[in-house]
Amino acid sequence: MMFTFFSSVPAWHAGAALCAALLAGAALAAPVGAAAERPAVMVQRPAAAVLLGAAAAGQRTVAVGERGVLIVSDDGGAHWRQVALPTSVTLTAVRFADARHGVAVGHGGTVLTSADGGDTWTRRLDGLRLAQLALQAAQRGGDAAGMRDAERLVAEGADKPFLDVLVWDAKRFLAVGAFGLAFATEDGGQTWTPWMDRLPNPKGMHFYVARRSGDSVLLAGEQGLLLRSGDNGRSFQAMNSPYPGSWFTGEVTGQEMLLAGLRGNVWRSTDGGEQWAQIANPRSASVTASLPVGNTVLLATQAGQVLRLQGDALRAMDIAPQAPLAGLVAAGGQLLGLGVNGIHALNGGAQ
């Protein structure tokens, strides 16, 4: 597969090439037009669709992907069924606060929520509405730079994707994405607040990663962008990045942080990001996803590999050759991989 970069930003394409661009850390979407208003395409083999994100909802597994495909499994990934959605834009990430309350985000500034474990979904935000919200907030604050950015959002329309979502509980979550987009809600998506003004991101870099542990929130993304909050998101400070390339995934546990991304770079901090040490990686492919499992972390790569963190090094798991992976999820005691070939069990399990 081939990836096209313009000023370090990959281009978006349709079909499998779109997923490939996502796996390379893409964040620039073509205008979605009427796709935001069309119901999701119902496909014959939903588990074989291009899938980009997955999460556990209690004992259920939920996965999302291209053309608004959202699928659920109640038997550890053995069988899947597609859920009808009110939009056919590509969905990039899904998270659950508990077994019932979930959030899915994607292209066109789309945010969907579910209160029944993923059986039904309601659209809570789209690119046109978020642009107006950003403009109103900038006008109230008298922020000239913010108004220019918001006016640009309005003029360009619903063409920018959310790429990750951070969930505190059933009511509070934060969606982040291309060009520094960041919108938060405290009432389950009924009302939204732009967070761009509290994030030190003057170049409008793309956010690919949103994680939290306790009161610590970590946002990471394009060209080494690293922001941290120690007060549960009320304020953020820029951090010195140990690597100038883009971060595509990460994990936070207390003061320990793990970041991974372009060209197989994996770095760890044990003091909240003050100091970083590089983790030896036997593979140079970009790391696209991570999954905490027990006392370790598994990493998926653009080359279809799965790496296990062991002490201060990464070891390749013994799995069959895979297409590029966009995510990992544990279900029914086994490890599932997802990407351009849909979702399926990987050898080696999730232990």
Chain-centre distance of CA 59, in angstroms? 21
Q: How far apart are CA 325 and CA 339, in angstroms?
A: 5
Does 210 have pLDDT greater than 70? yes
Per-residue model confidence (pLDDT) at position 206: 98
Cβ neighbour number for residue 335 with a 10 Å cutoff: 23
Does 17 have pLDDT greater than 60? no
Does 293 have pLDDT greater than 80? yes
Which tens digits make up the pLDDT trace of 154-173? 888 888 999 999 999 999 99
User: DSSP string spanning 316-339?
Assistant: E------SPEEEEEEETTEEEEEE
Looking at residue 214, the DSSP 8-state letter turns out to be T
Q: How far apart are CA 93 and CA 104, in angstroms?
A: 6
Edge-to-edge strand list for the sheet holding 193-194: 162-167, 173-177, 182-185, 193-194
Work out the average pLDDT over 236-255.
96
3-state secondary structure at position 293: strand
Q: How far is CA 161 from CA 37, 55, 74, 145, 165, in A?
A: 15, 19, 29, 22, 11
3-state secondary structure at position 204: coil
Among 181, 98, 197, smallest CA distance to 142 is for: 197
179: Cβ–Cβ under 8 A, 6 or more apart, which residues? 27, 160, 204, 205, 206
Does 23 have pLDDT greater than 70? no
Per-residue model confidence (pLDDT) at position 16: 37
How would you classify residue 141: left for phi > 0, otherwise alpha for psi between -120 and 50, otherwise beta?
A: alpha
Q: How far is CA 345 from CA 127, 166, 216, 329, 337, in A?
A: 35, 26, 33, 10, 6
Does 314 have pLDDT greater than 50? yes
pTM score: 0.89
Buried b (16+ CB within 10 A) or exposed e, 13-32: beebbbbbbbbbbbbbbeeb
Per-residue model confidence (pLDDT) at position 348: 52
Which tens digits make up the pLDDT trace of 33-47? 578 888 898 999 999
Tell me the average pLDDT of the chain.
89
Q: How far is CA 134 from CA 109, 143, 167, in A?
A: 12, 11, 21
